[in-house]
């Protein structure tokens, strides 16, 4: 439907230029009793940018969001929002929009009662609340849904109401905690694009917490990856994709071909076999062979096709190399090898990531 409009907005979005940090965390950590959920960390978010905080469960990403929201006290450090120190400001005075995991809609209020809640809190009169509720519901694509009961909404509609509720008081920072929750695939695909469009139109800064790397890459200008309460990677989606900083990040991003290797004289000894890597310094390294670094060819490492999985626009082929290790590659065109067939896999050395040994 409105897909093309969103796409156009998406293309014109250039966050890198406004470099003034809108949100700044300095040495902020979170602990629950003696359990440290988030190590003290520094983080800045530029005004108007969309930053995804990505990590497996227990990595501290929700704690990061809660401490910024003011729902958890920090173990120390300082949080500034738009130049103002908000470290000691209670949650209800921070003026930050937060969309909760599973939405936390007020079950005893209708859609309008939910969306208008923050407006009533700041003392808007009834007419202004009603007007703004209509506006925001229109913005999220639910015009006229005001009188409906939240219990009667579908998952996708609940998500939109939750977004509308967070947006209604016009926060300048919007935070979303796993906003895809338990929604089905079609909805998961749609929200990131719409969210980008809305954020851009409203000039919002967005902090988006998720465990799903595809979601993070789809929505964000910048991705921060957390592990065990620490930042392990921070960069643009393209940057992280093309050069993951370590094996954890690479594996978290979904890369399968990760292994330690011994390089000497421009040749790497890997579990898959030997590999020419001209220009790489001798020593132990960790190699990541991204799917775009591999292709079926007439020359290269020999192996037998172990399995094939159809993935729509490509076919994922698992080859057991002659050295005995499985190697996954994506075949997009050309003839498809049969399971059991002997093939050769060519490696483009320029697209191999060479990381310090982990």
Partner 1 sequence: MSLARPVGLGRTATIVLAVPPVVFLGLFFAWPVLSILATGLAPEGRLAVDAIADTLGRPYLLDTVVFTIGLAVAITAGSFAVGMPAAWILARFTFPGRTALRVLVAIPFVLPTVVVAAAFLATIGPRGIVPTRLADTVIAVIVAGAFYDVSVVVRLVGGLWAHLDPRTEDAARALGASPWRAFREVTWPLLRPAVISAASVILLFSITSFGLVLLLGAPGQPTLEVEVWRQASVMLDLPAAATLAVVQIVGVVVLLVMNACWQERLAVAQRLRPAAEVARPPRTTRERVAVAGIAIGLAAYIGVPLGALLERSLRAGDRYGLGAWEALVQGSVTRNVVQAPAVDALATSLVFALATLCIAGPLGLAAALVVGYRRGWVPRTFDALVMLPLGTSAVIVGLGFLVALDQPPLDLRTSILLIPIAHALIALPFVVRAIAPVVRSIDPRLREAAAMLGAAPGRAWREVDAPIIARAALVGAAFAFAISLGEFGATLFLARPETTTVPVAIERLLSRPGPLAFGQAMALATVLMLVTGLAMLAIERWRAPGSTGF
Which range touches partner 1 (CB under 8 A), out of 106-114, 214-222, 262-270, 334-342? 106-114
Residue 121 found at the interface with partner 1 (CB under 8 A): yes
Residue 90 found at the interface with partner 1 (CB under 8 A): yes
Which range touches partner 1 (CB under 8 A), out of 100-108, 230-238, 280-288, 294-302? 100-108
Residue 96 found at the interface with partner 1 (CB under 8 A): yes
Residue 69 found at the interface with partner 1 (CB under 8 A): yes
| b (16+ CB within 10 A) / e for 231-253 | bbbbbebeebbeebbbbbbbebb
Which range touches partner 1 (CB under 8 A), out of 99-107, 250-258, 265-273, 329-337? 99-107
Nearer to partner 1, 95 or 295 (CB): 95
Q: How many CA atoms lie within 13 A of 201 on its CB side?
A: 14
CB of 263 to partner 1, least distance (A): 51
Q: What residue ranges in the chain does DSSP mark as E strands?
A: 21-32, 35-46, 50-54, 78-81, 84-85, 97-99, 173-177, 205-210, 222-227, 230-235, 258-264, 267-270, 273-276, 283-289, 294-297, 301-310, 315-321, 326-331, 342-347, 352-356
Instruction: Write the DSSP assignment of 282-334 as a string of letters.
Output: SEEEEEEE-GGGEEEESSSEEEEEEEEEE-SSSEEEEEEETTS-EEEEEE-SS
Residue 133 found at the interface with partner 1 (CB under 8 A): no
Residue 208 found at the interface with partner 1 (CB under 8 A): no
Which alpha helices (DSSP H) does 70-124 contain, by range? 111-115, 117-121
Judged by CB under 8 A, the number of residues near partner 1 is: 30
- Residue 321 bridge partners (DSSP): 303
CB of 315 to partner 1, least distance (A): 34
140-179 mask for partner 1 (x: CB under 8 A)? -----------x-------------xx--x----------
| The dihedral formed by the CA atoms of 38, 59, 104 and 3, expressed in degrees to the nearest 10 | 120
- Residue 284 bridge partners (DSSP): 262
Residue 122 found at the interface with partner 1 (CB under 8 A): yes
Nearer to partner 1, 121 or 307 (CB): 121
Nearer to partner 1, 120 or 190 (CB): 120
CB of 292 to partner 1, least distance (A): 42
Q: Which two tokens stand for residue 101?
A: 């995991």
Residue 33 found at the interface with partner 1 (CB under 8 A): no
Residue 107 found at the interface with partner 1 (CB under 8 A): yes
Nearer to partner 1, 172 or 316 (CB): 172
**From CA 235, how far away is CA 54, in angstroms rounded?**
12
The total of other beta-carbon atoms located within 10 Å of residue 289's CB is 25
**From CA 168, how far away is CA 208, in angstroms rounded?**
18
Q: How many CA atoms lie within 13 A of 139 on its CB side?
A: 24
Which range touches partner 1 (CB under 8 A), out of 21-29, 53-61, 91-99, 152-160? 91-99
Residue 95 found at the interface with partner 1 (CB under 8 A): yes
Nearer to partner 1, 124 or 330 (CB): 124
Per DSSP, 52 falls in state E
Residue 92 found at the interface with partner 1 (CB under 8 A): yes
CB of 101 to partner 1, least distance (A): 8
CB of 326 to partner 1, least distance (A): 35
Residue 108 found at the interface with partner 1 (CB under 8 A): yes
Residue 145 buriedness (CB in 10 A; 0-12 / 13-18 / 19+) = buried
**From CA 302, how far away is CA 178, in angstroms rounded?**
43
CB of 88 to partner 1, least distance (A): 6
Which residues lie near partner 1 (CB under 8 A)?
A: 69-73, 88-98, 100, 104-108, 117-118, 121-122, 151, 165-166, 169
């Amino acid at each position: 439907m409105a897909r093309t409009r969103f796409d156009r907005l998406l293309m014109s979005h250039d966050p890198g230029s406004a470099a003034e940090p809108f949100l700044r965390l300095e040495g902020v950590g979170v602990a629950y009793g003696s359990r440290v959920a988030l190590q003290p960390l520094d983080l800045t978010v530029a005004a108007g940018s969309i930053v995804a905080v990505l990590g497996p469960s227990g990595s501290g990403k929700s704690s990061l969001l809660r401490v910024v929201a003011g729902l958890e006290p920090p173990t120390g450090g300082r949080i500034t929002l738009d130049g103002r120190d908000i470290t000691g400001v209670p949650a209800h005075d921070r003026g930050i929009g937060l969309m909760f995991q599973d939405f936390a809609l007020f079950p005893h209020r209708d859609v309008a009662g939910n969306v208008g809640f923050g407006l009533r809190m700041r003392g808007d009169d009834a007419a202004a609340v009603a007007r703004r509720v209509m506006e925001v519901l229109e913005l999220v694509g639910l015009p006229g849904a005001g009188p409906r009961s939240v219990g009667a909404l579908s998952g996708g509609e609940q998500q939109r109401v939750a977004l509308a509720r967070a947006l209604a008081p016009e926060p300048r920072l919007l935070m979303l905690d796993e906003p895809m929750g338990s929604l089905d695939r079609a909805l998961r695909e749609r929200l990131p694009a719409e969210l980008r469009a809305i954020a851009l139109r409203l000039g919002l800064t967005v902090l988006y917490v998720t465990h799903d790397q595809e979601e993070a890459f789809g929505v964000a200008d910048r991705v921060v990856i957390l592990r065990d309460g620490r930042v392990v990677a921070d960069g643009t989606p393209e940057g992280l994709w093309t050069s993951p900083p370590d094996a954890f990040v690479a594996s978290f991003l979904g890369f399968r071909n990760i292994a330690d290797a011994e390089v000497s004289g421009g040749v790497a000894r890997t579990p898959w076999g030997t590999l020419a890597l001209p220009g790489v310094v001798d020593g132990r390294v960790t190699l990541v062979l991204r799917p775009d670094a591999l292709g079926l060819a007439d020359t290269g490492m020999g192996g037998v096709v172990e399995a094939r999985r159809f993935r729509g626009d490509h076919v994922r082929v698992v080859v057991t190399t002659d050295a005995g290790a499985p190697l996954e590659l994506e075949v997009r065109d050309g003839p498809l090898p049969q399971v059991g067939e002997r093939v050769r896999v060519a490696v483009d050395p320029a697209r191999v990531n060479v990381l310090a040994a982990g």
